Structure formats: structure tokens, C-alpha cells
Amino acid sequence: MSRYASMFQRLADKREAAFGAFLMLGDPNPAACAALLDAVVAGGADMVEVGIPFSDPVADGPVIQAAAQRALAAGVKVGDCFALIAGFRQRHPDVPVGILTYANLVMARGGFARDAAEAGADSLLIADVPSLEAEPYALQMAQAGIEPVLIAAANTPDDKIAWIASLSKAYTYCVSRAGITGTHSGGTFDGALPAKLHNAGAPPPVFGFGISTPEHVRAAIDAGAAGVICGSAIVDCAARGGDVEALVRTLKAATRNDSAAH
């Protein structure tokens, strides 16, 4: 059973949802980033989602753009990112790690998926490869032993939901609102998307984009999310020198509320 599948099973038994913490690899430098990765696990993150910095992150808002810029300015290379994942994997053998990055980095490095799998990453989401371009990438990932994660959005039509359900493996990344990554959220999450994904046999729906408070976490879980990913709020907290572990602990607590057990 994959690390993601084991995690979702373990949490389901405890009637909890998964809390995913996002960090940009190499931000602000590799050593500090390694410590932040440990901090989010210490705070209770069930899964860790990591960005590999790209020069032109069109799906990202200002906070994550700035994080990528800091990492690139520090001279961080893709190989350094895989080394950070490998180090994390040694320290935390069971915590699922998913990579979130952009197509050009994958294309530029022959064997990107294989190197990611060998470093110990469990999944790979390519933000600018939508479902209609995803098949060759999913095939490549399957051969390399890493699970593809696709995005499903509130405006994704039903025929594509079925296709996404068949390609996405570790979880399905649900985008509940239009726009780019960031803390902005209406605080409402539509339950229709997780229901459609469930009916299509998709892997567990995990909500991202606009999750920054315990209330958001609750609302996403109430809408049917098996988990949430919080990115900009954590990255912003780290950039300001805040207590990342405490922030994660607060957000994770919201996945344990008894009302999570429907």
C-alpha cells in the first residue's frame, strides 16, 4: 500500500481528515528549509507537499512566487530539492511527500520522475499540465514509480472529471475557487466537486487554494474533503519568522473536530 493510501486509511480509522503542509524547497536556503519540513511534521502535518522553484509560476500568488524567487536567488537547483526530499525521507519514513512544480522543469531534466521517486517522493503534480495534456506524463510517472496527482476544479466538466479520476492516483487536488494560490478565500467550499469525484472513483479529494484558517479547514472537510493543503499561510508565516509548528498544530486540530466524523 502506498504511503498516501496508508495515511488516508489510518486517518479514516481515527475519523480525521489529512492535513497537508506546503513548503517551497530551498526557501530561504536548504538548511533552513529542512528545519521547516521537520517543524510542519512536528506540528502534526500528515502529508508534506513541496514546491520545486520555477522562474515563471503562473498558478501561484505573490507569497509562493516570492518563496520560489528566494530559493532561486539562494542558488537552489533541482538536484538540491531532491536532496532535501531524500533527507526528509530518512528522517520521516512514513510521511507522504508530494511534489508540486511546473512542466518545463520536468521536461528539462531527463528522468525527473525517476529521480523524484528515488529521492523518496510519493506523488507529482505539474501545475501547468491539465488533464487534457496529462496522459504521457502519467505514463512516465507510472513507469518511474511515482503517483500522478491531477487538479479538478469547480468548473471542470463531467467528462473531464471521469478522465481525471482515471489518471490521478495519490489524491485529487481540488481547487475550490477560481484564481491562483493564496490565502484569499470566501471560506466556502462546494461539496459538489468531492461528490462528483467520489462517484467517478477518483482518489481522495484534497482541497487546496485559500486554506489559511481553522474555519477554512472545517468548511473544506464539511464539504467532503478527505484532506486539505495549506500553502501560502505557512510559507508566509515562515518568511516572517513566525512559529510554523504552532500554526500547523492549530490548523491540524481542526481536522480532528468530532463533526469530521459524518
Partner 1 sequence: MRLNGRFGRFGGCYVPEILVPALEQLEGAFLDAQDDPAFAAELNALLSGYAGRPTPLTQCRNLPSNIYLKREDLLHGGAHKTNQVLAQGLLARRMGKTRLIAETGAGQHGVATAIVGALLGFETIIYMGAEDVERQQLNVFRMQLMGATVIPVESGGRTLKDAINEALRDWSASFESTHYLLGTAAGPHPFPTMVREFQRIIGREAKAQMLEQVGRLPDAVVACVGGGSNAIGLFSDFIPDAGVRLIGVEAAGRGLDGAEHGATLIRGRPGILHGAETYLLQDAEGQVDDTWSVSAGLDYPAVGPEHAHLKDTGRADYVGATDAEALSAFKALAENEGILCAFESAHALAHALKIAEEEPQSVVLVGLSGRGDKDVAQAQQLIGPSA
Q: Which of 16, 27, 60, 245 is catalytic?
A: 60
CB of 132 to partner 1, least distance (A): 6
Using CB under 8 A, list all residues that contact partner 1: 54-61, 65, 69, 72, 77-78, 102-109, 127-133, 150-153, 155-157, 160, 164, 175, 178-180
Cβ neighbours for 107, distance < 8 A, ≥ 6 positions apart? none
Cα–Cα distance measured from residue 194 to residue 52, given in angstroms and rounded to the nearest whole number: 27
- What is the rounded distance in angstroms from the CA atom of residue 75 to the CA atom of residue 66? 14
- Least separation, in Å, of the C-beta of 155 and partner 1? 5
Question: Catalytic site residue 49?
Answer: yes
Residue with smaller CB distance to partner 1, 7 or 71: 71
Pick from 153, 170, 196, 149: which is nearest to 46 by CA? 170
Q: How many CA atoms lie within 13 A of 247 on its CB side?
A: 23
Give the active site residue among 16, 46, 49, 147: 49
Taking the least distance from each CB to partner 1, the nearer of 19 and 54 is 54
The pairing of strands 147-148 and 172-175 is: unpaired
Q: How far is the CB of 136 from partner 1 (least distance, A)?
A: 11
**Can 80 be counted among the known catalytic residues?**
no
- Please give the positions annotated as active site: 49, 60
